[in-house]
Amino acid sequence: MNTKLVLDLLPDMANARNSEGDFLRAPNGQIWFAFSRFMSADAGDDASSDVYMIRSEDEGESWSEPECVARAEDFGTWNIMSVSAMPLRDGTPCFYFLIKEMDGSSGIGRAVWRGSGFRPERCALDLPKGYFVINNQRLIRLRNGRLLVPIARHENGPLEASMDRKLKAGYVWLRVYDRFEAVNFNSTVYLLASDDDGASFQMTDARISLTGARSFLQEPGLLEMEDGSLWLWARTALGSQYQCFSQDGGESFSTPEPTIFTSPLSPMSVIRLRDGGIVSFYNPKPGRDRTPLVCRLSRDDGRTWSDPINIEDDPERGYCYTSLFETSDGALLAAYCRGIRTQGQLNELGILKIS
């Protein structure tokens, strides 16, 4: 296996962070990669962020300068982030992202290619008010055309005199725009579905959680299996990724259980290859560090997996929020945060070509 770092987006004082993106194949044959570009010296999750895109004409060997495809101000807020690429049914390029609303609620937006440029649109979505998380490269299209995306809801509210009790129960102080709130790091996972090609989303009946206030079920991902079932995984503070399955299209799931993917509190990314194989990228060491970054391959629809293959292992860096794309020349592109931990591991974005 040969690896080559084909792009390294470094932060600066006017652009403190580049992170959480996704790839798509454009109609003209180019590869497009859209990502969260933070537009100030603040790299916090709630800081000013827009969605930018770069293009490659040579299967990821080189990349264009970043161009804006959607601004937070288009949606009346200051932060849109965590991009998932999903073309419309007719092949029109489209990037989806999380909207962090000014009132503390969340929405979903998208940028749709309309002839000569992207047009920002708000997807119809009626979510209860709360702190919601959707990762990058999490939107999937089922064989029947339905779109699904897992979303994690964290209970939140103003700081109270009972904060000591809340901290023991899994709450943390977290800045939510211009205020601090108590946010429970243990989430309930919901599934959002769209039957109109992404114009609107509705919640299914699924509700997924773990007992134990400090299990920290977070940042779920989703994949359709060969038999039509759905595999859902999520990071935890219990030493591994946890998983559960749905046999009814996402209306209900089995009880979450640990997987072979040992892990810190860090997300796992998974894609299906054109030949039917499945590739996973994750951090294998439980604890606090998001290093090394490894991948594993399954040739039997997830029943067995290869031994971990090392991708990057600099102990001074953290690797996370990977998005994956299979090129036409037999390689895999992996884009992920790879910042120096003491300077902000989420702030530097790299793209690796693996052949």
pLDDT digits (tens, 9 = 90+) for 177-215: 666 777 778 899 999 999 999 999 999 999 999 987 678
Q: What is the pLDDT of residue 75?
A: 96
- Predicted confidence band of residue 300 (pLDDT cuts 50, 70, 90): very high
Instruction: Please compute the mean of the pLDDT values over residues 326-340 and round it to a whole number.
Output: 97
- Predicted confidence band of residue 157 (pLDDT cuts 50, 70, 90): low
- Predicted confidence band of residue 21 (pLDDT cuts 50, 70, 90): very high
Q: What is the pLDDT of residue 131?
A: 86
Is the Cβ–Cβ distance between 37 and 56 less than 8 Å?
A: no
Instruction: Please compute the mean of the pLDDT values over residues 128-156 and round it to a whole number.
Output: 93
pLDDT over 90 percentage in the chain: 83
Measured CA to CA, the distance from residue 99 to residue 44 in angstroms comes to 15
pLDDT tops 60 at residue 167 = no
Q: Residue 190: how many CB atoms within 10 A of its CB?
A: 21
Mean residue pLDDT across the chain = 93
Instruction: Please compute the mean of the pLDDT values over residues 65-72 and round it to a whole number.
Output: 97
pLDDT tops 80 at residue 275 = yes
Say which residue, 303 or 1, is predicted with more confidence.
303
- Predicted confidence band of residue 115 (pLDDT cuts 50, 70, 90): confident
Rounded to a whole number of angstroms, the CA Rg of the chain reads 19
Q: What is the pLDDT of residue 211?
A: 84
Q: What is the pLDDT of residue 214?
A: 79
pLDDT tops 80 at residue 169 = no
pLDDT tops 70 at residue 330 = yes
Q: Residue 273: how many CB atoms within 10 A of its CB?
A: 14
Instruction: Please compute the mean of the pLDDT values over residues 37-58 and round it to a whole number.
Output: 96
- Predicted confidence band of residue 168 (pLDDT cuts 50, 70, 90): low
Q: What is the pLDDT of residue 103?
A: 80
pLDDT tops 60 at residue 109 = yes
Q: What is the pLDDT of residue 183?
A: 77
What is this structure's pTM?
A: 0.95
Residue type, 97: F
Q: What is the tens place of the pLDDT at every residue in 227-268?
A: 999 999 999 999 999 999 999 999 999 999 999 999 999 999
- Predicted confidence band of residue 161 (pLDDT cuts 50, 70, 90): very low
Beta bridge partners, 154, equal: 131
Comparing CA positions, the residue from 223, 54, 63, 56 lying closest to residue 137 is 223
Report phi then psi at 72, rounded to 5. Answer: -60, -35
Handedness of CA 117, 331, 231, 268 (dihedral sign): negative
What's the maximum distance between 2 C-alpha atoms anywhere in the chain? 59
3-state secondary structure the chain: CCEEEEEEECCECCECEEEEEEEEECCCCCEEEEEEEECCCCCCCCCCEEEEEEEECCCCCCCCCCEEEECHHHHCCCEEEEEEECCCCCCCCEEEEEEECCCCCEEEEEEEECCCCEEEEECEECCCCCEEECCCCCCEECCCCCEEEEEEEECEEECCCCHHHHHHCCEEEEEECCEEEEEECCCEEEEEEECCCCCEEEECCCCECCCCCCCCCEEEEEEECCCCCEEEEEECCCCEEEEEEECCCCCCCCCCEEEEEECCCCCCEEEECCCCCEEEEECCCCCCCCCCEEEEEECCCCCCCCCCEEEECCCCECCEEEEEEECCCCCEEEEEECCECCCCCCCCEEEEEEC
Lowest mean pLDDT of 70-74, 126-130, 216-220, 303-307, name the range: 126-130
pLDDT tops 80 at residue 158 = no
Instruction: Please compute the mean of the pLDDT values over residues 12-20 and round it to a whole number.
Output: 97
